[in-house]
Amino acid sequence: MADAAIHGHDHDKRGFFVRWFMSTNHKDIGILYLFTAAIVGLISVIFTVYMRMELMEPGVQYMCAEGMRLTAAAPGECTPNGHLWNVTVTAHGILMMFFVVIPALFGGFGNYFMPLQIGAPDMAFPRMNNLSYWLYVAGTALAVASLFAPGGDGQPGSGVGWVLYPPLSEKEAGFSMDLAIFAVHLSGASSIVGSINIITTFLNMRAPGMTMHKVPLFAWSVFVTAWLILLALPVLAGAITMLLTDRNFGTSFFVPEGGGDPILYQHILWFFGHPEVYIIVLPAFGIISQVVATFAKKPVFGYLPMVYAMVGIGVLGFVVWAHHMYTVGMSLSQQSYFMMATMIIAVPTGIKVFSWIATMWGGSVEFKTPMLFAFGFLFLFTVGGVTGVVLSQAPLDRGYHDTYYVVAHFHYVMSLGAVFGIFAGVYFWIGKMSGRQYPEFAGKLHFWAMFIGANLTFFPQHFLGRQGMPRRYIDYPVQFEYWNYISSIGAFISFASFLFFIGIVFYTLFAGRRVTENNYWNEYADTLEWTLPCPPPEHTFETLPKREDWDRSHSH
């Protein structure tokens, strides 16, 4: 360790431009990913707030053909602008899915902490790491540009929903749709390059004596995620490439009048789309495992079942895709199979939840901010999982398909689950990354505002779905007003808490209390990153770590 610390001032020699724009250092690239994802996340959340403003009351008050408004229009003053609504829904989905959660969890925390946890000096291919980040930035720029490019209805932007279903996406005028497709291509290329890098690093660069069964759970979660990305994203690339050629080169993969099949697109898309859920949520699982073990002051209960549950989730994630498609007219035997497989995937997920609870059970639980977010994650993810088992039943799904019940379900799993995982990770590691600690009271305030706001936003949507309100509509009958109003209030609270979080981060970076010790939590934060100074020097583990640095059973 002393050898690594000697190099602590190396990065002072690099200028700002060289350090941040030409970096091949996994720690710097991880920070760049987190920073960029936060900016895109803010844009996406603003879209959310605008949608919830519109849905607060029946009638169209804000999204008018006469122009976007920030104050409610009087009755009769506003011609509804459905295209603007569709563009907002599409942009929110595409940005959140491809440019916020995966880059933050996989690109940000994965790049920064996976090499540290296995004792690697850097990633296996540092320049490839740089390439994967800049591909992501280029994809983000294209995605934002597609909002302003000419689209359908003679207006800017493409409004086809984030899943880009044909025939709507085939018929959408303008080149906004093509830009969106290229944006997703670049995002996918970035993730694939990053996943090759992470798999190679994990397999070849572990510290001496660190066998696969001794690797920390967060590093395992990133490794499994990398395999999912490597196997799933090329399938998506194929689907959207076919869409592109259908639109521009006269092919008819998905055009019914040319002998194509729109349902084929759905199969290919969801073959990627279901592993995508686990690509998003597995790194969050890894973060929660580290946080729970640290603040329950106990090693994680059932380490091996936790690892194999992640691998099981990864494998099963590829064989359940058509549960998104019960309503397309599949045969009964197909539906029966997908129902069964979807219920089985709840088993490894349940193993993880019960292992976290068992870790806390009998532990000396310390309610610091990261632990609160871990509790929030457990509650929200479990609610999302239970409604997922409801939706796995084809007969029930007939009624719930494309209603707000589905919106509530997947936001509980993905946006609330994954986002609470990101927040837990930020509060857990921000002292390690920046050398300054966040203000504890402010962190707890952020947690409660976010938790209450998020539940107030999405829980009422279960009721809207049960009443039969379809999703992706700009307007609705007066019967649905009550729960929509409450949901919108929740969205505003969540947005305020997110702004508060940005404030906490800036306060921490510029005025937070300096961290003096390497491990500022307790001895149960026992992975290798806690043996390094805060922030870690530019070059770490030039002398490989000794086994007693990380293997508790070996050293005791």
pTM of the model: 0.95
CA-to-CA dists, residue 387 to 225, 345, 381, 409, angstroms = 24, 14, 10, 6
Q: What is the pLDDT of residues 466-513, one digit of tens each?
A: 999 999 999 999 999 999 999 999 999 999 999 999 999 999 999 999
pLDDT greater than 50 at residue 6: no
Q: What is the pLDDT of residues 357-408, one digit of tens each?
A: 999 999 999 999 999 999 999 999 999 999 999 999 999 999 999 999 999 9
Q: pLDDT-derived band of residue 347, with 50, 70 and 90 as boundaries?
A: very high
> Average pLDDT of 280-306?
96
Instruction: Please report, as a single letter, which amino acid is at residue 133.
Output: Y
Number of domains in the chain: 1
Active site residue ranges: 92, 122, 162, 190-191, 274, 276, 278, 289, 323-324, 349, 352, 471
Structural domain boundaries enclosing 342 = 2-128+209-223+276-555
453 part of a folded domain:
yes
Task: Give the percent of the chain with pLDDT over 90.
Answer: 92
191 part of a folded domain:
no
> Average pLDDT of 36-64?
97
C-alpha radius of gyration, the chain, whole number: 23
Could you tell me which residue, 547 or 29, shows the higher pLDDT? 29
114 part of a folded domain:
yes
Mean pLDDT estimate for the chain: 94
CA-to-CA dists, residue 58 to 53, 80, 482, 556, angstroms = 11, 12, 10, 65
266 part of a folded domain:
no
In the numeric block, which tokens belong to residue 432?
Answer: 């390690």
495 part of a folded domain:
yes
Q: What is the pLDDT of residues 216-273, one digit of tens each?
A: 999 999 999 999 999 999 999 999 999 999 999 999 999 999 999 999 999 999 999 9
Between CA 349 and CA 313 the distance in angstroms is: 7
469 part of a folded domain:
yes
526 part of a folded domain:
yes
pLDDT greater than 70 at residue 10: no
Residue 254 is classified by DSSP as: S
Task: Note the helical H segments in 249-316.
Answer: 262-295, 303-316
160 part of a folded domain:
no
Going 376 to 108 to 321 to 252, the CA torsion angle's sign is positive
Which CATH number goes with the domain that contains 291? 1.20.210.10
CA-to-CA dists, residue 69 to 53, 57, 548, angstroms = 11, 15, 62
Q: pLDDT-derived band of residue 74, with 50, 70 and 90 as boundaries?
A: confident
